Amino acid sequence: MRRPSWVPEGTDLDKPNAARVYDYYLGGSHNFEVDRQMARKAIALWPELPQIMRSNRAFLRRAVTFLAERGVTRFLDIGSGIPTFGAVHEIARAIHPESQVVYVDRDPVAVAHSRLMLEGDPGSAVVQADLRDVEDLMGRPEVTELLAAGEPVGVLLVAVAHFVSDDEDPWKLIATIRDALPSGSALVLSHASLEGRPDQAEDHQKLYRMTPTPLTMRTHEQITAMFDGFELVEPGVVYLPQWRPDLPETVGTHPERMTGVAGVGFRS
């Protein structure tokens, strides 16, 4: 397979990649046939998957809008993937044109394409770093500069903490980030839940074990514990469509079928 110009040297084009699979679910074009094959297998097992991914993206939009409307102009998007279909800087700048965003991802393909997309944008930066090496991530110059002003920062962990295993202790990693944040900062988090569709959970986790980013789905209680030290805003940690919907009718009759849960909390 010929390597596209936006893909860095050394990338394995024969192995599915979670960021590109996600892009496919969203209807994007930055994916390969191997990613589409994995996505089609997943959809065969779980037909609602594209809708779930889009519901997650809609939560991101609503949460960033919520923070921007409350004056937040600095965002740290960890596990940002490929910033298509309403990227954070576009959402935030619709309210505050001066908004700054640092995108962080460990995937070199996602990082390379993000840098290409954001080239020449002085208010956006892209960092290749891994949440699991949180000290390295928080010590990067782009991140320390974002925090240095002492202004509130919106930290986005949207559909990323479930790629951190229990042994790697996502609760401790998030606490490290929390302790580095200025007062008034916020955590935006969504996470795959075991409780929405327990009949599908194991099959979905098995599928992601085929990739370099295996999935760990968790209980509502375990996910809520990630907000330790943050004050949750209403309605708390709920299924994706239930978090401050634009219209009540968009929640649907079975929000639990979206499986993911989400919340936003502020640091005092």
Q: Which pTM value belongs to this model? A: 0.87
Residues in CB range of 12: below 8 A, 6 or more apart:
none
Per-residue pLDDT tens for 93-110?
A: 999 999 999 999 998 878
Domain annotation for the chain: domains and CATH numbers:
18-266 (3.40.50.150)
- pLDDT lower than 50: segments of the chain: none
State pLDDT tens for residues 155-189: 999 999 999 999 999 999 999 999 999 999 999 99
Can you list the alpha helix ranges (DSSP code H) found in 106-224?
108-117, 134-138, 141-148, 170-180, 198-208, 220-224
Strand partners, 231: 266
C-beta neighbour count of 117 within 10 angstroms: 17
pLDDT number for residue 31:
83
The one-letter code for the residue type at 93 is R
pLDDT at position 162 is: 94
Say if CB 116 and CB 83 are below 8 A apart: no
Q: 216 with 132: CB under 8 angstroms? A: no
